[in-house]
DNA sequence: GGACTTTTTTGCAGTCTCTGCAAGTTTGCA
DNA sequence: TGCAAACTTGCAGAGACTGCAAAAAAGTCC
């Protein structure tokens, strides 16, 4: 029907969004998140303040890097997993693939973001779990793969756990980025997979400190 | 040294905080969170707007019911658990006890809060995980009980998982409050305990839908 | 009770985030 | 070229939140 052809408009929009995100991160890393105004961000990206708010609902969203395409893309990845993969495995693969890709495509942004999130850990909380909407999307996808009713706890819990794994991993990665973020997320997901009932053996990844 | 005697000042402060929280919740449940101003909340609690902000750093915090005493109290509960309890068990007991108590002491507030959190699920995200500070406190407590270094992933992950369990449980409870909130949190924590690798057998609590 | 210290409350001025609206510009398309 | 749809922008305004200094209240000591 509609081939996903990228029109000039689309390209411009993507560029503007990227410019705003980059500006927000660069300035926040440099001067501190609280000392940067939306006005400055918009100026650096060469658009009006009003336009900033056409792209991001809040200043927070800009540094978080909220992207409306992420949710649907991860859902697609969940369904793209092998037939015989468990719901957990499907979700795990989708999340790790998304992270790896994003880190690949925007490594510099992530390095800046690391700084900003260290300044304001509360923003980190809203990153993966950013909007209830996309979380709902993912939970529905997991539920379908698991053959569970939407009201069941498991899908929501799994998706939320993924967000939590991501959050903790970023926190740890910000503390020591000699390890790959994807690996830390993977490790965290493994702990969730096998259960938290017992303290894991001392196989600290990296063994730092 | 300093007996925990409750002076008049302390009592007034507690009352004011409670009045503000109640006002925030009542008005939000009635008119919708976005249609309530801090001015109205302060008026209903019979204090000035400026005083509102002396108690809560933001409008959000008022409906969330942020209380500076909660963090330390849960930490105390973690250490109060039986010597032979695993870190997970200690944490689990602490969380469940806190929830049970709070629900006991402020049931009406929770019924209002349920409404508000249904309107704005994003606030729910910030509830348990509200501030990075108290999360840090809890993680340190768990780490000490587990004999792990502070940098280890496990304590942070466990605490964050608790927050997640709580969050998902509230979401489900808001949807159907014929079950006790504490029980749903318990069920969620059980899933985390045994691991999310496999879809749990269909022992749906309540079996709704 | 009166004088003095410490806390808490309050008003005020001011900054910043965010929204609705209407007009101006750019892009897509026939 | 000409029209329609999508974006951008400025503007006015509501509302959240902060710093500051004065006023009020509570605790203390004589």
Q: Which of A149, A187, A188 sits opposite B209 (nearest CB)?
A: A149
Helices (H) and strands (E) in chain B, counts: 11, 0
Residue B130, pLDDT > 70, answer no
* Closest chain A residue to B119, measured at CA: A132
Residue A48, pLDDT > 70, answer yes
Q: CA-to-CA distance for A96 and A207, rounded, in angstroms?
A: 22
Which domains are present in chain B?
9-62 (1.10.10.60), 70-194 (1.10.357.10)
How would DSSP label each residue in B29-77?
HHH-GGG--HHHHHHHHTS-HHHHHHH-SSHHHHHHT--TTHHHHHHHH
For B148-205, what is each residue's pLDDT tens digit? 998 889 999 999 999 999 999 998 898 888 999 999 999 999 999 999 999 987 654 4
**Beta carbons of B164 and A165 less than 8 Å apart:** no
Question: Please, which pLDDT band fits residue B4 given cuts at 50, 70 and 90?
Answer: low
Through-space separation of residue B49 CA and nucleotide C27 C1' in angstroms: 48
pLDDT of residue B209: 36
Residue A188, pLDDT > 60, answer yes
Q: CA-to-CA distance for B42 and A64, rounded, in angstroms?
A: 32
**Beta carbons of A172 and B165 less than 8 Å apart:** no
**Beta carbons of B125 and A121 less than 8 Å apart:** no
**Beta carbons of A191 and B157 less than 8 Å apart:** yes
Q: Which of A191-195, A200-204, B124-128, B135-139 has the highest mean pLDDT?
A: A191-195
Find and list the nucleotides of strand C having atoms within 7 Å of a protein beta carbon. 7-12, 16-21, 27-29
Q: Which of B152, B154, B199 sits opposite A154 (nearest CB)?
A: B199
Q: CA-to-CA distance for A82 and A89, rounded, in angstroms?
A: 9
Residue B3, pLDDT > 70, answer no
For B53-63, what is each residue's pLDDT tens digit? 999 999 999 99
């Amino acid at each position: 029907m509609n081939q996903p052809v990228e029109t000039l408009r689309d390209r411009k929009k993507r560029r503007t969004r990227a410019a705003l995100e980059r500006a927000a991160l660069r300035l926040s890393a440099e001067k501190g998140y609280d000392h940067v105004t939306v006005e400055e961000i918009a100026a650096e990206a060469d658009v009006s303040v009003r336009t900033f708010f056409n792209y991001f609902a809040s200043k927070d969203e800009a540094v978080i890097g909220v992207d409306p395409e992420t949710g649907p893309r991860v859902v697609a990845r969940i369904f793209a997993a092998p037939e015989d993969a468990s719901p957990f495995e499907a979700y795990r693969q989708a999340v790790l693939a998304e992270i790896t890709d994003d880190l690949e495509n925007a490594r510099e942004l992530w390095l800046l973001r690391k700084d900003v999130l260290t300044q304001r850990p509360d923003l980190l909380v809203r990153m993966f779990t950013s909007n209830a909407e996309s979380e709902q999307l993912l939970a529905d996808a997991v539920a379908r793969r698991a053959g569970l009713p939407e009201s069941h706890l498991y899908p929501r819990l799994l998706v939320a756990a993924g967000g939590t794994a991501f959050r903790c991993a970023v926190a740890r990665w910000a503390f020591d980025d000699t390890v790959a973020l994807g690996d830390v997320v993977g490790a965290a997901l493994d702990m969730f997979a096998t259960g938290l009932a017992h303290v894991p053996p001392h196989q600290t990844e990296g063994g730092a400190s």
